[in-house]
Amino acid sequence: MPYKSRSSFQLSALPVTIFAHLIVIAVTTLVLVWLLHFREGLAFKSVIKAKIFNVHPLLMTVGFILMGGEAIMAYKSIPGTRNVQKGFHLTLHFIAFLSGIVGIYAVFKFHNELDIPDMYTLHSWLGMSTICLFGLQWLIAAFSFWWPRAEKQSRARLAPWHVFLGMVIFLMAILSAETGLLEKFLFLGLYRSREAMIVNFTGLLLLIFGISVGLTVLLPQS
């Protein structure tokens, strides 16, 4: 099979990143409308326990997935030197990781206060696996690509695996969100309603966002 270079797409990453940024705005808006208008709101401590749970989808979707996607696109969307882009990449991923940790804490807190068992669904298995792999990936990357004493030869060997595993983890996060939205959709019995439309469109846009982020990795910057 002949080798196909990135230029074979006849497209730069710029329009795709702009499209992905617009999806970030759309998903954030849909999630906020869903949780604030249809689902009681947000709180870490409340007699209305649904408010505690709602912190979970907000942080896992907006904080973890969308921020993680922005981190992946940093090399194509952030102007400046390679080190500046690397700094944004590492920082945005760290923010995503913290959001994921707090988001998981929120759902465990919700389960604990209502005496609901933990880790019994496919969504929870995928989600926990994703956040654990994400944290491990971030630590390895920090010492391999950011630490000044890391050898250039080691960085070169690790770089393709870092990109590959990063995309695998990102797609796992998308899959976790899709199963979580479906789980909530069925649990609440939404079906044909305005809330159901918001949940469905959120899931659809997350899929398109994942595809867009993956495409930016393949495309040249300009």
Q: What pLDDT digit, counting tens, does each position of 76-89 carry?
A: 999 888 889 988 99
Selection from 149, 151, 156, 175 nearest residue 65 by Cα: 175
Indicate the pLDDT class of residue 31, thresholds 50, 70 and 90: very high
Compare 146 and 46 and report the one with higher pLDDT: 46
pLDDT of residue 51: 97
Selection from 175, 222, 205, 217 nearest residue 73 by Cα: 217
Selection from 189, 173, 138 nearest residue 61 by Cα: 173
> What is the average pLDDT across 174-182?
97
Compare 148 and 20 and report the one with higher pLDDT: 20
> What is the average pLDDT across 187-199?
90
> What is the average pLDDT across 127-150?
86
Asked if 40 and 215 touch (Cβ cutoff 8 Å), the reply is: no
pLDDT of residue 175: 97
pLDDT averaged over every residue in the chain? 91
Indicate the pLDDT class of residue 1, thresholds 50, 70 and 90: very low
In the block, residue with structure tokens 């080190």: 83
> What is the average pLDDT across 183-200?
91
Indicate the pLDDT class of residue 148, thresholds 50, 70 and 90: low
Asked if 154 and 148 touch (Cβ cutoff 8 Å), the reply is: no
pLDDT of residue 188: 87
All structural domains of the chain: 9-218 (1.20.120.1770)
The structure's pTM equals 0.92
